[in-house]
Amino acid sequence: MDRTEWKVLKEIAELEKVPQGAYNFRVNGQLDERKVTANIDIASKTDGKPGIDITVKPGTRGESVHIPVVLSMSGLTDVVYNDFYIGEGADVDIVAGCGIHNTGCETSQHDGIHVFHIGRNARVRYVERHYGEGPGTGARILNPRTEVYLEEGASMTMEMTQIRGVDSTIRDTVVEVAAGGECIINEKLMTDGAQTAESNVEIILKGDGATGRVISRSVGRGRSVQVFRPCMTGKADCFGHVQCDSILMDQAKIKSIPAIDAQSVDAQLIHEAAIGRIAGDQILKLLTLGLTEEEAEEKILEGFLN
């Protein structure tokens, strides 16, 4: 990888050198570097599809897998299929994400299709950052699809962040949670200029004691457009909460369509959604602390997206 690619990697995975544990760096549609450990195997797919199978042995604890993708070649469309098999009782961190550096006038696009099979009582913390940069006029497009299948007692916390530089994104996330399982999705999104973003999240709580939470925070600036469709379905004695908050600025437009679907009398489902501009009294308070209006706005957004 060259310096530009390392810079993108730092944005998406906070990496300045190869990480500890297992990793797989994919650059411009090709494997760049890979390392496996005694407990975590990464293998290229053998069915002809581009992508990898990541297998974590049962009981693996405190290990991590980094699988970042960098696109620095303009005009490249990279589709990748990554399947994760997390063994029973494992407890691991997975850091994914994609960064595009586009210097040309052609579109660069990455569609990452991730499928997680998470075994009984396993715990996964998944971090995914999407980022775009580059002086080119070519569009930077990211369309991820994430499917998660949580077995009994398994849990997954997903931090999905896209703060800048992605012109267009359609993000689909589907999660099935078995009895006693838990899925928490923290989604943070900011769009600017003429960017568009669409996020469709569906969590299906299938077993008793299953829990699901979607906490979505977004900021729309410029003339950007965002659409959110989080849906929580309860099919058992379960608890689900959808919370969407958006700050609207400039001429941006945000549509939020949360849905809750109770298919069991014991399902407890809640949704909350709010969209509005930055409250005037928040700005005034920060002005009285000596900040300028621009600094106040940035601090409020920084806190909001946290």
Partner 1 sequence: MLEISHLRYDVTAEDGAELDILQDISLTVEDGKLVVITGPNGGGKTTLARTIMGLNQPTGGSIRWNGQDITNLSITDRAKAGVSYGFQQPPRFKGMKVRDLIALAAGKEALTPAEGCQYLTQVGLCADDYIDREVDASLSGGEVKRIEIATILARRAGLMIFDEPEAGIDLWSFARLTETFENIHKGGDSTLLIISHQERIIRLADEIVVIEAGRVAKHGPQEEIFPQIMARTLPGCGYMREGAC
For partner 1, the binding residues (CB under 8 A) are 217, 245, 279, 281-282, 284-293, 299-300, 303-306
Query: Closer to partner 1 at the Cβ: 148 or 247?
Result: 247
In the complex, the smallest distance separating the C-beta of residue 304 from partner 1, rounded to whole angstroms, is: 4
Query: Closer to partner 1 at the Cβ: 107 or 226?
Result: 226
CB 120 within 8 A of CB 152: yes
Query: Closer to partner 1 at the Cβ: 62 or 303?
Result: 303
Looking at the DSSP bridge assignments, the partners of residue 212 are 183, 240
- The residue whose two tokens read 């998660």 is 148
Cα separation, 204 vs 185, in Å, equals 13
Give CA separation, 248 vs 56, 181, 222, 245, in Å: 41, 34, 9, 10
Residue 285 burial (CB count, 10 A): 13
At 29, list the tokens: 């549609």
Query: Closer to partner 1 at the Cβ: 259 or 287?
Result: 287
In the complex, the smallest distance separating the C-beta of residue 296 from partner 1, rounded to whole angstroms, is: 9
In the complex, the smallest distance separating the C-beta of residue 279 from partner 1, rounded to whole angstroms, is: 6
DSSP string over 220-239: E-TT-EEEEEEEEEE-SS-E
In the complex, the smallest distance separating the C-beta of residue 282 from partner 1, rounded to whole angstroms, is: 5
Query: Closer to partner 1 at the Cβ: 12 or 300?
Result: 300
In the complex, the smallest distance separating the C-beta of residue 160 from partner 1, rounded to whole angstroms, is: 16
**H or E segment and range at residue 8:** helix 3-13
